[in-house]
Amino acid sequence: MSGDAQIEQVAADDLDPGRMPRHVAIVMDGNGRWAKKKGRPRQVGHRAGVHTVREIVKAASELGIEVLTLFAFSTENWNRPKWEVTSLMRLIIQSIRGEIAEINRNNVKITVSGRWDELPAANQQAIMFALKKTGHNTGLKLNLALNYGGRREIIEATRRIAEDIQEGKLTPDAINEPLFESYLYTAGLPDPDLFIRTSGEMRISNFLLYQLAYTEIVVSPVLWPEFTRQHFYQTIREYQSRERRFGRTGDQMSH
């Protein structure tokens, strides 16, 4: 996305409802830089980012998107200063409990990808509460990537397959893409059609390494706390302007 696209106004009506991505995955980058720019502590940036999450979840729900995956906490985030990790854990609890009524009103179902069983007990309790409270909802699936790492996901899936082969539950000949995908954290979810990263960083940061094989990538220069509904619409319009070939030629796609 160019700087000009950043200020261009795009509305939901400008989008093609027939070409909406089923699954959008977002790396919500730039909270710390936003806070630094304003001379505020990093945790203020993370809190501001929660307001953006609320707005984008509403927008995705209204557009009829099936899955929205947000990279909320990575396995690498444990390496941040202890005070920041503690602050993030507390914010996750507050956000889940504070937003659950609105999430239910919007018929949003919360799912989680990652080793959330390794989070502090209070976080696990908040997540279990959210899963139970929204389990019956039939609208947008809000998939939170928590304590998530793409390489670890692939290694764990491989280990579990090896264990099942060792126990006689599987044979090596049974291993194919659908079977392998059933062992991933994202089992049951479609692969992302659109990957968005905010703040202009050109990397995927160990996020959904297997699932992003044919995903369209859009990088926005906007810091996450400043990422609006209009910016979200812009990324979707950019997605809709592309020809998805899945390894085929343009001529093949046009026939």
What amino acid positions are annotated as catalytic residues? 29, 77
The distance from CA 155 to its chain's CA centroid, rounded to whole angstroms, is: 20
The sign of the CA dihedral 170, 172, 178, 184 is: positive
The CA–CA distances, whole Å, from 164 to 114, 160, 175, 199 equal 21, 6, 11, 42
Quote helix, strand, coil % in the chain, to nearest 5. Answer: 50, 15, 35
Burial class (CB in 10 A: 0-12, 13-18, 19+), 152: middle
The distance from CA 160 to its chain's CA centroid, rounded to whole angstroms, is: 24
Q: Are 123 and 89 in contact (CB under 8 A)?
A: yes
